[in-house]
Amino acid sequence: MYTVIHIDDSPFFQKMLQKEFEDRNWKYISVDTTEEAFHILEITPVDLIMTKLLFEQEDGENFIRRVNGSRYNHIPIVVVTSNDNIEIRRRMFAMGVVMFIPKNIYYRQLFHFIEKLKIEEELLTDIRKLHIAVLDDDRLELQLIQDILAKKGIGNVDVFSTAEELLASEKQYALYLVDVVLPDISGEQVIMQLRTICGNSMIMAVSCIEHYKVISNLFLAGSDDYIMKPFREEVFIARIKANLRSYLLLQEKERQKAELQKKNYELNRMVRIDGLTGLFNHKYLYERLEQEISQVKRHQTQLSVIMLDIDYFKSVNDTYGHQGGDEVLVKVAKTLQENLRKGDIVGRYGGEEFLAILPHTSILGACIVAEKIRQVVENLQFEHDLKITISCGVAAHEGENALELVGKADGLLYVAKVEGRNKIKYDAI
């Protein structure tokens, strides 16, 4: 929760602002005088000071000067006044006032600013989670940067005094702060090498070099920003925040891209895969068979198919229920996958029928495979001592199209069924 002190003795504005702030989950403290404001500052952490300029006891400008000279000088000050002219504005901004709001247009601007304050605070929270590497050959400078970061609660910081050490580090950092004047290697080279190893991390060059050519070269080498030494703490942190904004946007984009790729992959998989067994589905089997047939024609190779059907499967369902039947289907499907070669294609052709496409395989080879599978299925262990057998029709490609070839295997499967099941039938060439 954030806290605002509002110094204004008008009950009307106090009431109005109280509601606006509280609606936004802020703690609102209103005081009538600047002295009371200092008292509050002493006893509670404050995130924003809002003040008018004209007080009976003290001039508002004087109050701002006192805040600036105190240990509360980091708290943003917003001035709300009806006394608006360019001269006053200039003076206010010179004193570090972050916002000047003429009383009549008070709100939109103010709450826009407050929203931003919240986002800035969130960014700081994000920065605290980052792993940061600082490279500087000057140990004092390293300490200075570390101190500035530590003051903001940023502690995941590793410091390096040579480029060699940093480049050899196994760890990837989200932010690199690189001094560009180094004894053994140019900062530009360091940045170039970092860019190749760290991908999208933020790289900020830090130096006192002023020459435009050097600075523009650093950006060419892959730096995201350049900060001139000596720098003000607040500006330094603000620049890190600015870079973090783009970094987070980029990361979000990458995340969305990866998610989309995953969804596309899943979608592609879903149109090819049978939901129950995880094998290819009927549609994909035909696509692949057509492809394989065109390969056979082009390269004069061999191709065989096996049509497999579980025997008396209806009675499995009748005895053990549909779910029991499904379990058998899954186990048979797994067995097929395990007993075929990597280049073979196996899918669920229909209910309890499977089709295996065996590229570069003669009828003899296909029969050996079919017989092996028949035996393995016959010996599978199921609950309740259930025994399962399959019948197979094995056919070699002899110029048919996909439909004809499958029809040939299906015809042979039918023969296997008629001749008593648990056997393979092939077309004798």
Residues 75-86 as b or e (16 or more Cβ within 10 Å = b): bbbbbbbeeeee
Nearest CB to Mg ion, comparing residues 136 and 309: 309
Q: Is 247 in the site for Mg ion (CB under 5 A)?
A: no
Q: Is 100 in the site for Mg ion (CB under 5 A)?
A: no
Q: Which of residues 333-352 bind Mg ion (CB under 5 A)?
A: 352
Sheet with 225-228, edge to edge strand ranges: 157-160, 132-135, 175-179, 202-207, 225-228
Indicate if the alpha-carbon torsion angle 361, 363, 365, 366 is positive or negative.
positive
DSSP strands (E only) in 116-210: 132-135, 157-160, 175-179, 202-207
C-beta separation of 186 from 169 below 8 A? no
Classify residue 287 by burial, with Cβ atoms within 10 Å: 0-12, 13-18, 19+.
middle
Nearest CB to Mg ion, comparing residues 359 and 393: 393
Least distance (Å) between residue 386 CB and ligand GH3 = 13
Residue 8 partner contact from ligand GH3, Mg ion, none using kind-dependent CB cut-offs of 5 to 8 Å: none
Q: Is 313 in the site for Mg ion (CB under 5 A)?
A: yes
Count helices and strands in the chain by DSSP H and E runs: 14, 15
Q: Which residue has the tokens 């809002």?
A: 50
Q: Which residue has the tokens 């029809």?
A: 407
Least distance (Å) between residue 249 CB and Mg ion = 56
Across the strands, what pairs with 356?
A: 306, 346
Least distance (Å) between residue 369 CB and ligand GH3 = 20
Nearest CB to ligand GH3, comparing residues 303 and 329: 329
Residue 322 partner contact from ligand GH3, Mg ion, none using kind-dependent CB cut-offs of 5 to 8 Å: ligand GH3
Stretch that binds Mg ion, among 62-70, 106-114, 303-311, 401-409 (CB under 5 A): 303-311
Stretch that binds Mg ion, among 5-13, 86-94, 339-347, 353-361 (CB under 5 A): 353-361
Nearest CB to Mg ion, comparing residues 47 and 353: 353
Q: Between 313-338 and 363-378, two packed helices, what is the crossing angle to 10 degrees?
A: 120
Least distance (Å) between residue 388 CB and ligand GH3 = 10
Stretch that binds Mg ion, among 143-151, 274-282, 312-320, 361-369 (CB under 5 A): 312-320
Residue 317 partner contact from Mg ion, ligand GH3, none using kind-dependent CB cut-offs of 5 to 8 Å: ligand GH3
Least distance (Å) between residue 353 CB and Mg ion = 5
Nearest CB to Mg ion, comparing residues 360 and 421: 421
Q: Between 282-299 and 402-418, two packed helices, what is the crossing angle to 10 degrees?
A: 110
Which amino acid is residue 178, in one-letter code?
A: V
Which amino acid is residue 368, in one-letter code?
A: I
C-beta separation of 393 from 354 below 8 A? no
Least distance (Å) between residue 306 CB and ligand GH3 = 15
Sites of contact with ligand GH3 (CB under 6 A): 276, 309-314, 317, 322, 325-326, 329, 351-352, 417, 421
Q: Which of residues 252-271 bind Mg ion (CB under 5 A)?
A: none
Nearest CB to Mg ion, comparing residues 353 and 398: 353
Residue 343 partner contact from ligand GH3, Mg ion, none using kind-dependent CB cut-offs of 5 to 8 Å: none
Residue 152 partner contact from ligand GH3, Mg ion, none using kind-dependent CB cut-offs of 5 to 8 Å: none
Nearest CB to ligand GH3, comparing residues 183 and 420: 420
> How far, rounded to the nearest angstrom, does the alpha carbon of residue 220 sit from its chain's CA centroid?
27
C-beta separation of 204 from 158 below 8 A? no
Least distance (Å) between residue 416 CB and Mg ion = 11
| Length of the chain counted residue by residue | 429
Among 371, 369, 372, residue whose Cα is nearest residue 356: 369
Which amino acid is residue 160, in one-letter code?
A: F
CA within 13 Å, CB half, 232:
4
C-beta separation of 76 from 48 below 8 A? yes
Nearest CB to Mg ion, comparing residues 109 and 389: 389
Nearest CB to ligand GH3, comparing residues 41 and 415: 415
The DSSP letter of residue 176 is: E
Residue 93 partner contact from Mg ion, ligand GH3, none using kind-dependent CB cut-offs of 5 to 8 Å: none
Across the strands, what pairs with 175?
A: 132, 202
Least distance (Å) between residue 349 CB and Mg ion = 9
Q: What is the CA radius of gyration of the chain?
A: 38
Residue 96 partner contact from Mg ion, ligand GH3, none using kind-dependent CB cut-offs of 5 to 8 Å: none
Nearest CB to Mg ion, comparing residues 182 and 328: 328
What are the Cα distances from residue 425, in Å, to 191, 365, 380, 417?
Answer: 69, 13, 21, 9
Least distance (Å) between residue 125 CB and ligand GH3 = 52
Among 309, 347, 408, 409, binds Mg ion (CB under 5 A): 309
Interface with Mg ion (CB under 5 A): 309-310, 313, 352-353
